[in-house]
């Protein structure tokens, strides 16, 4: 028992850093539960300010899995599973290459990559560009591959697939559910590769476990906000918040 307590003690951050990390996870989780995406987009850059990007990426991936399990009963029947399985195999193949980038890039290079991926996602959503419900198979594979590469390197599987799911879904609720499940699955796949390669450390996962209550609370609050406000306001709110986070991360990467 004492050995287990020692492991958790060694993984713990100073109180102020624990509070900041919990706040980052809560904010990102509430955003994701509200709009169906944005957990990694918001969580990685915010969490990286406390623990660094190399630890933030696997932490967010692990939390994606926990969040998916918590929300599974609510979203599994609404999600477009055909759309998910069309792109998931390509993401599975590309994820190890993203993990390689996570291993070889320095912290500031990772922050820059994270900021650019986030700004790309915001630009795509703000452009009003629409992807038709049916796209050629090579396009679907390309979307999945790009998503897997970003999932491995930044935990941000979202930018390539946001318009894909929004274009295929008949309702905002279906798009939200599909993205929720896809990000949980890619998180599980990518984290598995991270463990197999030895990049993910036990102390990082123990820290994630200690901070997980912030995620579970955020899922409840975010889901309540989605159903309370309807589906008319979620996009501009998400765009505004993600833009601020992207610019802050970019400034941090450049100034360092």
Higher pLDDT among residues 109 and 242, named by residue: 109
User: For the ranges 123-127, 137-141, 212-216, which has the lowest average pLDDT?
Assistant: 123-127
Stretch 121-141: mean pLDDT: 78
Stretch 104-111: mean pLDDT: 82
CA dist., res. 26 & res. 39, Å (int): 9
Residue 232 has pLDDT above 70, yes or no: no
The predicted pLDDT at position 51 comes to: 92
Using pLDDT thresholds of 50, 70 and 90, give the confidence band for residue 234.
low
CA dist., res. 165 & res. 133, Å (int): 8
Using pLDDT thresholds of 50, 70 and 90, give the confidence band for residue 1.
low
Using pLDDT thresholds of 50, 70 and 90, give the confidence band for residue 89.
very high
Task: Please report which residue ranges of 76-131 form alpha helices under DSSP H.
Answer: 81-104, 107-127
CA dist., res. 29 & res. 218, Å (int): 5
The predicted pLDDT at position 41 comes to: 80
The predicted pLDDT at position 256 comes to: 64
Answer for the pair 167, 130: CB distance below 8 angstroms, yes or no.
yes
Residue 85 has pLDDT above 80, yes or no: yes
Stretch 164-183: mean pLDDT: 80
Q: How many CB atoms lie within 10 A of CB 91?
A: 29
Using pLDDT thresholds of 50, 70 and 90, give the confidence band for residue 22.
very high
Using pLDDT thresholds of 50, 70 and 90, give the confidence band for residue 3.
low
Higher pLDDT among residues 67 and 30, named by residue: 30
Higher pLDDT among residues 144 and 122, named by residue: 144
Q: How many Cα neighbours within 13 Å face the side chain of 178?
A: 25
Higher pLDDT among residues 158 and 27, named by residue: 27
CA 74 vs CA 77, 78, 91, 140, 190: distances in Å: 7, 8, 24, 26, 24
pTM of the model: 0.80
Q: Which residue has the tokens 């509200």?
A: 34
Using pLDDT thresholds of 50, 70 and 90, give the confidence band for residue 93.
very high
Percentage of residues in the chain having pLDDT higher than 90: 19
Residue 200 has pLDDT above 90, yes or no: no
């Amino acid at each position: 028992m004492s050995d287990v307590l020692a492991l958790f003690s060694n993984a713990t951050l100073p109180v102020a850093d624990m509070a900041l990390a919990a706040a980052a996870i809560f904010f990102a989780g509430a955003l994701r539960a509200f709009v169906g995406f944005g957990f990694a987009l918001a969580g990685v850059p915010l969490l990286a300010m406390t623990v660094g990007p190399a630890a933030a990426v696997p932490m967010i991936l692990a939390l994606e899995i926990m969040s998916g399990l918590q929300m599974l009963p609510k979203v599994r029947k609404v999600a477009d599973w055909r759309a998910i399985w069309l792109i998931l195999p390509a993401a599975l193949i590309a994820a190890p290459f993203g993990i390689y980038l996570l291993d070889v890039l320095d912290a500031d290079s990772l922050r820059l990559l994270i900021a650019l991926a986030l700004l790309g996602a915001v630009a795509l959503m703000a452009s009003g560009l629409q992807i038709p419900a049916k796209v050629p198979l090579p396009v679907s594979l390309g979307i999945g591959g790009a998503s897997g590469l970003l999932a491995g390197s930044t935990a941000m599987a979202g930018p390539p697939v946001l318009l894909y799911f929004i274009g295929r879904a008949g309702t905002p609720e279906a798009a939200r559910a599909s993205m929720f499940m896809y990000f949980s699955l890619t998180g599980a796949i990518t984290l598995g590769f991270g463990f197999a390669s030895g990049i993910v450390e036990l102390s990082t996962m123990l820290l994630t476990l200690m901070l997980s209550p912030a995620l579970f609370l955020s899922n409840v609050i975010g889901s309540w906000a989605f159903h309370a406000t309807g589906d008319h306001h979620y996009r501009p709110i998400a765009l505004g918040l993600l833009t601020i986070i992207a610019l802050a991360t970019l400034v941090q990467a450049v100034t360092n």
